[in-house]
Amino acid sequence: MPDLSSTERTRHRRLREQGRTNRTELFDVLKAGFVCHLGVIVDGAPMVVPTAYGFDSDNLYIHGSVASRSLAAGGPAPMCVTITHVDGLVLSRSVFEHGVNYRSAMIYGVPRALEGEEKLEALRILTEHTAPGQWDYARRPNRKELAATVILAVSLEEASVKVRQGPPDDADDPHDVWAGVLPLAATWQPPVTDPAAAHEVPEHVRLRAGTRLG
């Protein structure tokens, strides 16, 4: 698998030791979550919008309403998509050295609107990434719902990944106080059934309870 691209936008300038060049580490970041932040220009001003995503080996897929200003603005214009996972607070001996253990990715590209079977397949990928098992369990979108939905594909060709792990970097600081990491982990909770639902929780949903996100 080829390394990540090295362009003016993805080249690591600061904290180069946190930069990653292996493309598998991009996929690791993408697998660990399902919400990204989409950066676009709308009416001449920047707009950053959180949205769910899915992906395959070539593209990131994002979706929304045809009335969405952020997705409509995507059109042929470039956009930047970011994904960040916080793994812990790094509490150092000095406030200056405090930091965050994290995994992050930035993806640059010109989005492409999908249609037909390609659009439906991207919706399947997005659904199965966010809620594995739901595509075959729930009702699939009908023609009217598909017409009301925008699906954009953003190539993973131009991407940058950074990861920070480990303890504080100021072991030689003379200030003698506790220092270390306060870990953070998100866990799926037991499902809450819709009062109007007459069915038991399906196995693919029930089994996610207690598992870690990311």
Segments making up each domain of the chain, as ranges: 16-184
In sign, the C-alpha dihedral spanning 21, 164, 87, 62 is negative
Q: Which of 98, 104, 106, 60 minimizes the C-alpha distance to 85?
A: 104
pLDDT at 41: 87
Predicted local confidence at residue 170, as pLDDT: 87
DSSP 7: -
Q: Is the pLDDT assigned to residue 5 strictly greater than 80?
A: no
When pLDDT is averaged across residues 62-77 and rounded to a whole number, the result is: 73
Lowest mean pLDDT, pick from 4-8, 30-34, 35-39, 95-99: 4-8
Residue 69: per-residue pLDDT:
72
pLDDT at 19 over 70: no
Rounded Cα distance between 7 and 52, Å, is: 26
Q: What is the pLDDT of residues 105-129, one digit of tens each?
A: 999 999 999 999 999 999 999 999 9
For the ranges 21-25, 33-37, 49-53, the lowest mean pLDDT is seen at: 21-25
Q: How far apart are CA 212 and CA 87, in angstroms?
A: 12
- The rounded mean pLDDT for the chain is 90
16-184 in CATH: which number? 2.30.110.10
What is the C-alpha separation between 196 and 200, in angstroms, rounded?
A: 12
**pTM, rounded to two decimals:** 0.89
Instruction: Return the pLDDT at 73.
Output: 47
